[in-house]
Amino acid sequence: MKAKTQIVISSAMFRRRNLAVRAAIALLALATAVIPALADDTLGAASNDPKAIRPFHINVPQEQLDDLRQRLAATRWPDKETVIDESQGIRLEEMQALVHYWATDYDWRKCEANLNALPEFVTTIDGVDIQFIWVRSKNPNALPMILTHGWPGSPLEFLKVIGPLTDPVAYGGRAQDAFDVVIPAIPGYGFSGKPVDLGWNPDRVARAWDVLMKRLAYTRYVSQGGDHGSVISDALARLAPPGLLGIHLTMPATIPANLVKGINSGDPAPTGLTAPEQRAYNALSTFFGKNAAYGAMMVTRPQTIGYALTDSPSGLAAFTYEKIAEWTDSDGHPERVISRDEILDDITLYWLTDTGASSSRFYWENNNNNFSAAAQKTDQIKVPVAITVFPHEIYRAPESWSRQAYPSLYYFHEVAKGGHFAAWEQPKLFSEEMRAAFKPLRGAQVTALNQ
């Protein structure tokens, strides 16, 4: 039985960690990010008040890491694929190399130290602990932004953009481009709690995100997301809580209703589509026809796939690494844009938190076409919407479809490189897009602050 990850919370430790955080963040090029100034009544008796913002610290027991290495060493491998490409999945030689490195050279403690060097917190919302990173800019007029990950990603996707977003001047931006960033783990992912009741779908997570931002004393904020994060941001925009200024998406839901059936059935693209529309149609048809089996499994049988993901770290690695390889802008070699250690940080996070099954259940709870404008009810969204298209996303959303799907779309931009994990792959480009996309909304933020 796996030892539980320890969460150490004490006021003395938190004071000591504040000093360590400041030093470590400087080493991580986050020197301008500051520890959030929590009100005494918010932090107060943190361990006794579920609504309090409680400090969070990661300390994985060594026996859990030893158990992981032993399991990796005992991997039972399948026979070699019978093709010379990736058409049957990740090739044996590639997986063996990844697992060997994971078992012998990879060091989780480096990731753990990097995370513990950041301001980490946890609060309870709707009965579930929400763990999050919260880094504030030194700019008092910084725009608060909540960043939401997807699968097989995690909050780790956003670590490299914390500096550029909170301290834009140090990264080629302007002081007035600064953001405060809040990076939560979706319930059932990472160090957030695992829901034990039904109904934790994108709408419920969106409501929790609004509670979180209001609990952090933000009266105005924006939301950004890709993958699940896009779906949750859509839900938040439909909810339109007071204070939500706008959303930014990297995986928008733009398929017109009349094309959904043909795409799902693998029918040829109809006549009359523009070149970008035909490209998007073909990409989605290929995705649903050849590459979506992982999602079908999690949507229909999350518990069944959960046994494999929970018992076999090599199985977990293959299941997730395949999508990282396929969806990055890397010609199938993700280490070209994300280091091997960073990829294993993400996979190891899933393993150590035992979230193979619980993260899969989010698909079951969602059980929707995340690319369909009708399914995501995008026509109900009234708050401002911004979209950035990264060329190796699952599909490139055409501007024509995007404007039809999102009546309140005010920003649309296609960039030259990057894939599904935009912030992870291209942190500089992603940060520049956040500055440009949300610049028109900062006036509302300043107005609110001056009222």
Rounded CA separation 153/236 (Å): 20
* Residue of 180, 227, 329, 346 with catalytic role: 227
Distance of CA 77 to the CA centre of its chain: 30
* Residue 289, both tokens: 């026809």
> Would you say 208 and 125 are in contact if contact means Cβ atoms under 8 Å apart?
yes
Rounded CA separation 312/301 (Å): 18
H helix or E strand, kind and range, residue 130: strand 128-135
> Would you say 149 and 324 are in contact if contact means Cβ atoms under 8 Å apart?
no
* Residue 149, both tokens: 């990950």
Active-site residue, 228 included: no
Phi (first) and psi of residue 180, to 5 degrees:
-90, 140
The two most distant CA atoms of the chain are separated, in Å, by: 68
**Which residue, among 336, 333, 317, has the nearest Cα to 325 in the 3D structure?**
333
Active-site residue, 227 included: yes
> Would you say 181 and 147 are in contact if contact means Cβ atoms under 8 Å apart?
yes
> Would you say 179 and 145 are in contact if contact means Cβ atoms under 8 Å apart?
yes
Rounded CA separation 223/225 (Å): 7
* Residue of 106, 189, 218, 363 with catalytic role: 363
Hey, is 385 helix, strand or coil? strand
* Residue 322, both tokens: 């395949």
* Residue of 149, 228, 392, 420 with catalytic role: 420
CA–CA distance from 407 to each of 29, 301, 336, 402 (Å)?
A: 39, 36, 37, 9
- Whether cis (ω within 30° of 0) applies to the bond prior to 152 is yes
Amino acid at 302: P
Rounded CA separation 59/74 (Å): 25
Active site residues per annotation: 227, 363, 420
